[in-house]
Structure 1
Amino acid sequence: MKKIVVIPTLNENKNIDILFSNLLKLDIKFDLLFIDDNSKDGTRKKIIELSKKNQNIKFIFRKKKLGVGSAHKVGINFAYKKKYKILITMDADGTHNPKYIPQLIKLNKYNSIVITNRFLSKNSIIDWPISRRLLTKIRYHLINYLLNIRYDTSGAFRCYNLNIVKKKDILAAKDNGYSFFWESIFILHKKKYKIHEIPVDLPYRKIGSSKMKLRDIVSSLYYLSIYFFKNLFFKIK
């Protein structure tokens, strides 16, 4: 089946070559779509260079930072428009190991969406700074408690079966930032799509710096609070 890997980028020049090299090691045929939010570190130049050597590499360059959730929506729209059947999304920062992609695709045959879970493996985030580990675990338990779900919903490393999942159901998630990830899983869960999780090791970023800022965390908590009360009183469907 026709497959595509979608990778949003923002100043990931030093990670692109490593990631692409690891993707090439996979014995799987797929296209690769980079969605860049106006990187200033040479990321775009690197992507263009790779695309000239590899016909399966495509890219969309945006004029400014519009949010990681927004980038995923662009990739999802592209995948449906071009009639891909399998869509894999992942980060470019080196934390998402392409070695899990074959497993994601294999399990995707029997599920609507397969997502990765950092909490099914005891030592998955063992090398993270204590503060980031604590924040991630609090977010994980808070989302699951407030929305009454059990998934690791905030990760971007996923595989969608586009033969099953309707575009309007994925894009029903309104947030254009980090909350897109848990919001989209919550909606797909409510619509009874079959969601499967696999355990992954998620090493801390080695090159570059995280794009998540304090304002993103505050904004996500606010959005989650509003969403919780909206679901509590109006029952989101």
Structure 2
Amino acid sequence: MVVPTYNEAANLELIVGRLRSAQPGVDILVVDDNSPDGTGDIADRLAAADPQVKVVHRTAKQGLGAAYLHGFAVALEHGYDVIGEMDADGSHQPEQLHRLMAALADADLVIGSRYVPGGAVVNWPKGRELLSRGGNLYVRLLLGMGIKDATAGFRLFRRPTLEKIDLPSVKSSGYVFQTDLAYRTIMAGLHVVEVPIEFIERERGDSKMSGQVASESLKKITMWGLHERRKRLRGVLDQRRRRG
């Protein structure tokens, strides 16, 4: 599991402990973006005590997507066949990871979803949940894909999936990254499965999501989504011209 961190000193040790307890066979890669609160030092201490915990130190905060791409590259290089994502703040419960693992038997990408039947969001203000649900509805309408929670960050990828969706060409660095990878997976003709999870708002530390971040993400999704639609339209028109 790739776990990106920035100022998660209050949460990292707890979430790593929970994950190791819930799934002892799962290795953990912490990708820290030079957290000023000492998160990287905590990660190093955990790695020194446990060979199944590794750490990548990045030199600056460059966005969630950039951290995940770095972690994916390291995991692929080391030969892992299944590579996952989860937050460090406890919002994704390691005790529910088995649901994603079971679903991977029939999927190329499994998403732990808040918005399929059985999924839930706990301790979020109603306004924030409405913003999230509305953003996901907008994504479905704009990109024409049926995923209910395209912005979710609790995921498992098969190795061939990451190899097929051309990770080096991914430019999205913030929260748009999750939508980008889900869309690429579908456009590659691969199978995406959503399983219900209970998403719990963090109890310690500060959320990285704000109204400004959400607004900026929607703007980027709009620009990117319109670009993708134009590209698809050009492809359809080119096909018609060749047939004509």
Q: Same fold (TM over 0.5)?
A: yes
**C-alpha deviation, 1:174, in angstroms:** 2.1
Which residue is equivalent to 1:161? 158
**C-alpha deviation, 1:170, in angstroms:** 5.2
Which residue is equivalent to 2:240? none
Describe the SS at the equivalent of 2:161.
coil
Alignment of 1:114-193 (within 5 A): 114-121=110-117, 124-151=120-147, 152-162=149-159, 164-169=160-165, 171=167, 172-193=169-190
Q: Does structure 2 conserve the Cα–Cα contact (< 8 Å) formed by 1:86 and 1:105? A: no
Describe the SS at the equivalent of 1:65.
coil
Letter in 2 for 1:167: E
Q: Which runs of 4+ in 1 moved over 2 A?
A: 212-219
Which moved further from structure 2: 105-114 or 8-17? 105-114
**C-alpha deviation, 1:209, in angstroms:** 1.0
Q: Does structure 2 conserve the Cα–Cα contact (< 8 Å) formed by 1:90 and 1:96? A: yes
Describe the SS at the equivalent of 1:25.
helix
Structure exhibiting the larger radius of gyration computed from Cα positions: 2
Q: Percent identity?
A: 27
| Correspondent of 2:232 among 229, 232, 235 | 235
* TM norm structure 2: 0.89
Which residue is equivalent to 1:202? 199
Which residue is equivalent to 2:64? 68
Q: Does structure 2 conserve the Cα–Cα contact (< 8 Å) formed by 1:170 and 1:188? A: no
| Correspondent of 1:14 among 10, 15, 28 | 10
Q: Aligned partners of 1:30, 1:170: CA distance in 2, in Å?
A: 25
Q: Does structure 1 conserve the Cα–Cα contact (< 8 Å) formed by 2:118 and 2:197? A: no
Letter in 1 for 2:39: T
Structure 2 gap ranges (5+): 236-244
**C-alpha deviation, 1:27, in angstroms:** 4.3
**C-alpha deviation, 1:62, in angstroms:** 1.0
Describe the SS at the equivalent of 2:200.
coil
Q: Does structure 1 conserve the Cα–Cα contact (< 8 Å) formed by 2:113 and 2:119? A: no
- Inter-CA distance 122–81: structure 2 relative to 1 (3 Å threshold): closer
Root-mean-square deviation (CA), in Å? 1.8
